[in-house]
Homo-oligomer: A and B are copies of this chain.
Amino acid sequence: MKYIQSSQNPQVKQWKKLLTKKERDRSETFLIEGFHLVEEALKENQVVEVIISEKIGMPSRLDIGSASVTMVTEEIADSLSDTETPQGIYAVCRQLKTDDGVSNAKTFLLIDAVQDPGNLGTMIRTADAAGIDAVIVGRGSVDVYNSKVLRSAQGSHFHLPIIRGDLENWIQELKEKNIPVYGTALEGASTYTDIPAAESFALMVGNEGGGINKDLLMKTTANLYIPIYGKSESLNVAVATGILLYYLKK
């Protein structure tokens, strides 16, 4: 096992760069933190290397497989964390390539410009729970490999393909494959319970404040609405996603 003591070590500098979207995109990797996430990533063979603080030592119940392991000082380990109570365990993981495992997908979640990392992560976790085949994240959303998105998704990044793409193109492609695309909107929309549950569909949800871009809404098969029975103005976007996915999924 390698052991690194200097925060000036080039490998430490490279790990820290993974805290930026730019370097994650360039290297097609990302950094995860915490025992649960590392365990999920190892299970799914997505890990390039594991980084462990000498303070915690090698957890005996972790099945490392073929991943390399590096031990580092507590100071280096903490410098890779954005939480207040770092767990001392990290992994560098591979990003899935754009078209891995989606050619046969029948159910999709399309996400337009969701900006809160907790919301985006929770939506990915919810899509996973609902058995959705792929998540497509459009422009204007927070980066899917942002550390808070990863934390909120609780490992679902390793369970289903999460693809960054142009939603306009995706809507067109899905419709050509006879997969209905449902937007969510407050005006000119049908109550969601008017739509039948189905074996294949794509649900599109949008920005916390403004909803889905109007140009995209005009291209959908139909647009849905969740009735508000009380006095609140709207639902949280992750909650709305859960209600709709569990309703639509056959």
Contact = CB atoms under 8 A, between A and B. Distances in A.
Nearest to A116: B118
Contacts of A226: 129, 246
Interface stretch (A18-26, A46-54, A87-95, A230-238): A230-238
A246 B118 CA distance: 22
A141 interface: no
A126 interface: yes
Interface stretch (A1-9, A60-68, A155-163, A179-187): A155-163
Interface string A123-137: 001111111100000
Contacts of A160: 230-231
A239 interface: yes
Given A242-B235, A242-B242, A230 B122 contact: no
Contacts of A128: 230-232
This protein's copies in its complex? 2
Contact of A234 (B118, B129, B130, B247): B129
A210 to B, nearest CB: 15
A167 interface: no
A203 to B, nearest CB: 14
Interface in A214-250: 226, 228-236, 238-243, 246-247, 249
Question: How many A residues touch the partner, as a band?
Answer: 35 or more
Interface-centre pick from A156, A226, A240, A243 (highest chain B CB count, 10 A):
A243
Contacts of A238: 236, 238-239
A70 interface: no
A235 B129 contact: yes
A61 B228 CA distance: 26
B229 A249 contact: yes
A159 B239 contact: no
Nearest to A235: B129
A127 B232 CA distance: 9
A229 B118 contact: no
Q: Rank and list the top 6 A-B pairs by shortest CB-CB distance, nearest first.
A: A131-B229, A239-B242, A159-B231, A128-B232, A128-B230, A129-B232
